[in-house]
Amino acid sequence: MLARDKSSLKRTPLHALHVARGGKMVPFAGYEMPVQYPAGVLKEHLHARSSAGLFDVSHMGQLALRPKSGQVEDAALALERLVPQDIVAVAPGRQRYAQFTNEDGGILDDLMVANFGDHLFVVVNAACKAEDEAHLRAHLSEACVIDSLTDRALVALQGPKAESALAKLCPDVTAMRFMDTGPRKVGGFDCFVSRSGYTGEDGFEISVPAEHAETLVTALLDNADVLPIGLGARDSLRLEAGLCLYGHDIDTTTTPVEGALEWSVQKSRRSGGARAGGFPGAEKILSQFEKGASRRRVGLRTEGRAPVREGALLFTDSASSEPIGKVTSGGFGPSLNAPVAMGYLPTSLSANGTSVFAEVRGQRLPLQVAAMPFVPNTYKR
């Protein structure tokens, strides 16, 4: 992921804006992205929780799946062959969280799937977007025309003042509920707006034609409530919200059940459901729904002030030599003013309140399994 040569890195349509606003640019998933602005990670994080934060997520992949039959249900049925979610049931103007699975039940990527009435709109992770597009073309080309929407930027506006800030440019957004989505005019531009995000806060994600991205974002940032937020705070916000980071908390070696994502697999795709199975790794995943999995993703809180970071090994006590699990994301939660982490533990040790130890710089630090989200979400349902 670390590119040695900055010149090989791609830039988003908002690159000049980031630099002009003092963004500290770092390599991320093949792009030059702002990790923070002069305000710093702590202030940016707290601002997104108390007011509104603007995030450039244009590095993510945006694709349209257009059914050749003209019936969006055919695109939904086709996509259901790759994900364990009920896509047919996603109503027009709604979106749903999903995962591409592999034959072993592991997760190839996680994504958002929106029903735009006559086609599906999907958003995938930056680091996986080339593989995801190839995967879609390999399996869906018979049913769908797959358009990679590389001419669009994507921004997120998150926080309690996101609605009022966006409503100045698009009054309709006040009527939207969590996971509502669809085309909207924002500041006169043809955008796709969804009421969703990656912070645990109420907020919106806005896909905008690349050539208008800077104008739109400048208009949003002209509002004193809105500050630009870098990847640093994006990570601490999503961690406090208990949301998975692909490639860290979930990957090809973790199933949706092990990843504690059962809530995202609708009954219709589970054993006994109307369209049970029929996705890669269904046998393993559905068996884990019935019999349970041997390990599980959990939230972890420390007793002390020392953050426990990704990669730290977990143990049952302060002396045992065999690790029982590993931290997959960890850091400091500015809203909690305390360290927070998530990781994998044997299911038998995954109940809230269970005591475990993490090894940090040769010392065993006490941790407790804790409910997620660590910070309650404020979605407008």
Partner 1 sequence: MTTLFTSDHEWLLIEGDVATIGVTDYAQSQLGDVVFVELPKVGRSLKKAEAAAVVESVKAASDVYAPISGEVVEVNEALVAEPALVNSDAGGKAWFFKLKIADRSELGGLMDEAAYKAHRA
The C-alpha atoms of residue 49 and residue 47 are separated, in whole angstroms, by 5
Return the bridge partners of 31, or none: 10, 28
Residue with smaller CB distance to partner 1, 56 or 205: 56
Q: Does 381 bind partner 1 (CB under 8 A)?
A: no
Q: Does 41 bind partner 1 (CB under 8 A)?
A: yes
CB 19 → partner 1: shortest distance, Å? Answer: 18
Q: Does 307 bind partner 1 (CB under 8 A)?
A: yes
For residue 166, the tally of other CB atoms under 10 A from its CB is 27
Are 122 and 63 spatial neighbours (Cβ–Cβ below 8 Å)?
A: yes
Q: Does 301 bind partner 1 (CB under 8 A)?
A: no
- Candidate list 12, 36, 62, 350; residue touching partner 1; CB under 8 A: 36
Q: Does 343 bind partner 1 (CB under 8 A)?
A: no
Contacts of 77 (CB under 8 A, 6+ apart): 87, 88, 143
Q: Does 27 bind partner 1 (CB under 8 A)?
A: no
CB 323 → partner 1: shortest distance, Å? Answer: 20
- Candidate list 34, 105, 232, 242; residue touching partner 1; CB under 8 A: 232
- Candidate list 51, 181, 236, 328; residue touching partner 1; CB under 8 A: 236
CB 379 → partner 1: shortest distance, Å? Answer: 24
Q: Rg of the chain over CA atoms, in angstroms?
A: 21
The C-alpha atoms of residue 9 and residue 121 are separated, in whole angstroms, by 26
CA distances in angstroms from 132 to 29, 83, 136, 258, 286, listed in the order given:
14, 12, 6, 22, 23
- Candidate list 10, 43, 275, 380; residue touching partner 1; CB under 8 A: 43
Phi-psi category of residue 218: left, alpha or beta, with phi > 0 → left and psi -120 to 50 → alpha: alpha
Q: Does 334 bind partner 1 (CB under 8 A)?
A: yes
- Candidate list 149, 276, 306, 313; residue touching partner 1; CB under 8 A: 306
- Candidate list 23, 259, 331, 343; residue touching partner 1; CB under 8 A: 331
Q: Does 362 bind partner 1 (CB under 8 A)?
A: no
* Longest Cα separation, the chain: 63
Chain position carrying tokens 């601002």: 47
* CA-wise closest residue to 360 among 299, 304, 297: 304
Are 181 and 189 spatial neighbours (Cβ–Cβ below 8 Å)?
A: no
Q: Does 45 bind partner 1 (CB under 8 A)?
A: yes
Phi, psi of 327, rounded to the nearest 5 degrees = -80, 130
Stretch that binds partner 1, among 105-113, 202-210, 314-322, 328-336 (CB under 8 A): 328-336
Residue with smaller CB distance to partner 1, 21 or 309: 309
- Candidate list 25, 35, 89, 349; residue touching partner 1; CB under 8 A: 35
* Count of residues touching partner 1 (by CB under 8 A): 20
Are 215 and 206 spatial neighbours (Cβ–Cβ below 8 Å)?
A: no
- Candidate list 94, 168, 275, 309; residue touching partner 1; CB under 8 A: 309
The tokens of 188 are what? 């006169």
**Segment holding 50, helix H or strand E:** helix 41-50
The tokens of 367 are what? 């941790």
Residue with smaller CB distance to partner 1, 46 or 324: 46
Residue-by-residue DSSP string for 292-319? --SEEEEEEEESSS----TT-EEESSSS
CB 306 → partner 1: shortest distance, Å? Answer: 6
Phi, psi of 157, rounded to the nearest 5 degrees = -120, 115
CB 176 → partner 1: shortest distance, Å? Answer: 31
CB 27 → partner 1: shortest distance, Å? Answer: 15
CB 304 → partner 1: shortest distance, Å? Answer: 9
Residue with smaller CB distance to partner 1, 198 or 279: 198
Q: Provide the 3-class DSSP secondary structure of residue 91.
A: coil
Stretch that binds partner 1, among 39-47, 57-65, 275-283, 318-326 (CB under 8 A): 39-47
Are 330 and 309 spatial neighbours (Cβ–Cβ below 8 Å)?
A: yes
DSSP-assigned letter for residue 349 = G
CB 222 → partner 1: shortest distance, Å? Answer: 26
Task: Summarize as ranges the residues that interact with partner 1 (CB under 8 A).
Answer: 35-36, 40-43, 45, 232-233, 235-236, 305-307, 309, 331-332, 334, 339, 361
